[in-house]
Structure 1
Amino acid sequence: MEDLTRLAGRQWVDGQEDFSINSGLKKIAAIAAGKCNRCGAQVTAQLPNGKKYCRACLGIGRLVEGDYLVRNQTAVSFPVTPDGGLTWEGQLTPFQEQISTKLVSNFYKRRDTLVHAVTGAGKTEMLFALIAECLKNGGRACIATPRIDVVNELFPRFQAAFMGLKIGKYHGREFQEPGLEQLTICTTHQLLKFYRAFDLLVIDEVDSFPYVNNLQLHFGACNAVKKLGMRVYLTATPTSDLMAEVKQGKLQIIKLKRRFHGGLLPVPEEQLFLRPFLQKGRLHPKLLTAIIATIEAGHPLLLFVPRIDQIPLYIAALKHEEELQDVALDGVYAADKQRLEKVQQFRDGRLQLLVTTTILERGVTFKHVWVIIVAADDQIYSASSLVQIAGRVGRAQDDVDGLVLFCYRKYTANIRSAMRQIREMNR
């Protein structure tokens, strides 16, 4: 039989009742008492043959009544190293150092922690010592995030910080043969494939869709950690359920209200529009003026629109304007097959203007970018997403400020709340 050591800490579905179980493997019913044992959801959907199947975690493979969930609990050991493989030679700010030291201390106390840090605070760098501390003792760590773009952003940064370490990278847009890596970076959906695997689980952008308020992904994240493992949650905008756990003493909260360069969060400008932003294929003159001013200032521009079907309309209108004829522009959204390529083109400066949805609201860094949000009063923009979008600006050491423009036709509670949060963090 195949050596399944490389799958230690993982779980998978098997439809064979006579699946042979060797040491370290455990087999349970995939669906029992009307509940999915992979994601915890109640199972009600039925196939034509009458068998029930789980729709909640269908995206990572169908799980049908009568299938078995195989869990690999084979004991594995990783080498003990004095530095945990950390090769990063950068320096933290005094504020970052305080957070980093506290996280290491909490790791040894096995105390789950919420890090509430402003966008651009340098959360990634603050994790290096924590990850190294886990790895140097032979532990296994995972950094999970709801968005594929964030996985792709984090992976090269950790590769550069742990140059001698093989790091696992898993998400739904890029097939990777499962392996036994000591450090894994993946989407939160991928956590459903693990069981009691990690001594340390960090969930970045914990308030982000699709993880936020998703009971199945929360269930998977809980199962992915060893019973004595530690969880760290990172966010600039904590959710009410996390704050409730803080009040109950289940989580310790530590805060960082300054960006890594010591600068403040850019306070958005607000502009009221009495007429539609886009009408008969032409942009509102005030919106067009703001876009042209950004391009002429030499800044790449993220233009956020509420709906996917609006992207081609805005692109067509932008291309119609004489002042923008020579501007390299495109649009991107979650299901775009060229999404990763377009984001990289924008990062490399090959695109000057990118029309996007909230898919780029967080977890991505672009040098010197400015931001305009069209219809900031749309219900798609929560207060936290407005704060996150504003946080894309001013993230460079040599460019700590920039334009964030909220365009609206009605001043909403979410806009008001976002402005209040930004000003409070700046105080």
Structure 2
Amino acid sequence: MENHTSLAGRQWIINQDDSSIFPNCKKISGIINNICQRCGSYCNTKIAGKILYCRACIGLGRVSENDYLVRDLSNKSYSKQNDLLTWSGNLTARQAKVSQEICYAFKKRQDHLVHAVTGAGKTEMLFECLKLCLEAGLRACIATPRIDVVNELYPRISSAFSKIKIGKYHGREYKDYEAEQLIICTTHQLLKFYHAFDLLIIDEVDSFPYAPSPMLHFGANNAVKTNGMKLYLTATPPDDLLEKIKHKKITVSLLNRRFHGGLLPVPKEKLFLKPFLKKKQLNKHLLKQIILVIKAGHPLLLFVPRINEIPVYLEALKACHQLKEMVIKGVHAADEARIDKVQEFRDKKIDILITTTILERGVTFKHVWVIIVAADDAIYTRASLIQIAGRVGRSCDDQDGLVLFCYHKYTLPIRQAISEIKRMNR
């Protein structure tokens, strides 16, 4: 267990044999009526056939019916301050309007959705609301489903609020908890909090693993104070949030332009009659498209449907004499060097990065172009195709670029993605 210096808003597990007394804390059974009190999951598995435990959140430490969940209910106080926002940039008129709507929702403690196209500048639109929260001595958290997005957001938020210490927490980087006033973390980390935050921002709310996980939704609801606010961010709202908007349970802001005012790149389509890869050789038409990207001087994100395809495409690309001078690597969710490879690609030390949907959202690469292999694969949804297309054209000096959907069969998600991008552009 963490050192009990200031664990306000935290929750942790102790064995029922532990008689430790913690100030301002409440102890409850880890499992009540077969329901895990940390993650809300139903428990039906037993240790040695005797002791019930929760399998769903075991990655954060086992919760069993012989354990207590300890919640620190004390309210961590932070001093009220002025001029915490050190960002010197300016919002566009559209961004400023959304920023005002977010602040208005926070003052009312009204849950709110920001539906903004990829590259709209969602992060910058948060600054005024964060300023409002932090300067009032309140506590905020930005949570996102992906580690890559945590690593992307942390330096940007740290630069914008350089006068305060910001906590960064995810499963790939251990750090002792320090009760920071502003925290950036993965949505899994929210399961360690209970009634901790006045403002909880959930970025990429439609993304895996958060969107389909009742456990992570349960954790998010527990992490925010009863009088707190949840702010959702996405370019592709999930159905449950659209239903809440319809029934006026949450309010919404819409922004259909990027921060530089440019349009979203409309994907180009290419039908392939032959396999993309056969006997370790790339389809000549696919290779031609890849070479065109390289000759145009752009780094290339090459998306493939599955992790086991990455080494096959990597070998085939490296065998092409036209690409012999290029630095080509692959990356996926379980790759131990994932963070380093993403940074190398950002630093233009990698020319072609073969990846899965792990990089479909939340990461920004200047001047990148994108090719999706097998865009008709079932793994690609309307939302994921839109998000992948959104990696392109994010720079003020490079507002357009190639997004190429390669497929054998024209699918409904492909049609829906292109249709929605065109609709947002209108």
TM range (shorter): over 0.9
Q: 1:304 to 1:349 in 2, by over 3 A?
A: same
1:26 aligns with 2:26: yes
Partner of 2:55: 55
The answer to whether the 8 A contact 1:17-1:68 is kept is no
Partner of 1:251: 250
Question: TM-score, normalization: structure 2?
Answer: 0.99
Partner of 2:418: 419
1:86: how far off? Answer: 0.9
Q: Deviations over 1:129-177 (max 9, x none)?
A: 1111000000000000000000000000001101111000000000010
- Alpha-carbon separation, structure 1, partners of 2:19 and 2:401: 60
- Alpha-carbon separation, structure 1, partners of 2:349 and 2:19: 52
The answer to whether the 8 A contact 1:44-1:52 is kept is yes
1:5: how far off? Answer: 4.2
The answer to whether the 8 A contact 1:52-1:65 is kept is yes
Q: Deviations over 1:269-321 (max 9, x none)?
A: 00000000001111111100000010111100000000101000001110111
1:337: how far off? Answer: 0.5
Q: Deviations over 1:226-248 (max 9, x none)?
A: 00000100000001101011111
Partner of 1:216: 215
The answer to whether the 8 A contact 1:5-1:74 is kept is no
Partner of 1:408: 407
Partner of 2:382: 383
Output the amino acid matched with 1:362: R
State the number of aligned residues.
426
Partner SS state of residue 253, structure 1: strand
Output the amino acid matched with 1:37: Q
Q: 1:410 to 1:21 in 2, by over 3 A?
A: same
- Alpha-carbon separation, structure 1, partners of 2:153 and 2:349: 21
- Alpha-carbon separation, structure 2, partners of 1:388 and 1:19: 50
Comparing 56-65 with 237-246, greater Cα deviation is found at: 56-65
The answer to whether the 8 A contact 1:24-1:75 is kept is no
- Alpha-carbon separation, structure 1, partners of 2:208 and 2:301: 20
Partner of 1:398: 397
Partner SS state of residue 52, structure 1: strand
Partner of 1:15: 15
Partner of 1:359: 358
1:58: how far off? Answer: 1.2
Partner SS state of residue 120, structure 1: coil
- Alpha-carbon separation, structure 2, partners of 1:321 and 1:10: 54
Name stretches of at least 5 consecutive residues in structure 1 with no aligned partner. Answer: none
Identity %: 60
The answer to whether the 8 A contact 1:305-1:356 is kept is yes
1:20: how far off? Answer: 2.8
Partner SS state of residue 404, structure 2: strand
- Alpha-carbon separation, structure 1, partners of 2:416 and 2:75: 49
Partner of 2:42: 42
- Alpha-carbon separation, structure 1, partners of 2:396 and 2:238: 29
The answer to whether the 8 A contact 1:362-1:388 is kept is yes
Partner SS state of residue 237, structure 1: coil
Partner of 1:97: 96
- Alpha-carbon separation, structure 2, partners of 1:369 and 1:245: 36
1:3: how far off? Answer: 7.0
Partner of 1:155: 154
| Mapping 1:331-350, distance limit 5 Å | 331-350=330-349
| Mapping 1:363-374, distance limit 5 Å | 363-374=362-373
| CA RMSD, 1 decimal | 1.2
Output the amino acid matched with 1:91: N
Output the amino acid matched with 1:325: K
- Alpha-carbon separation, structure 1, partners of 2:405 and 2:144: 27
Partner SS state of residue 46, structure 1: strand
Partner SS state of residue 47, structure 2: coil
- Alpha-carbon separation, structure 1, partners of 2:176 and 2:334: 23
The answer to whether the 8 A contact 1:21-1:27 is kept is no
Q: Deviations over 1:388-420 (max 9, x none)?
A: 000000000100000000000000001011011
1:22: how far off? Answer: 3.6
Question: TM-score, normalization: structure 1?
Answer: 0.98
Partner SS state of residue 241, structure 1: helix
- Alpha-carbon separation, structure 2, partners of 1:214 and 1:201: 18
Partner of 1:74: 74
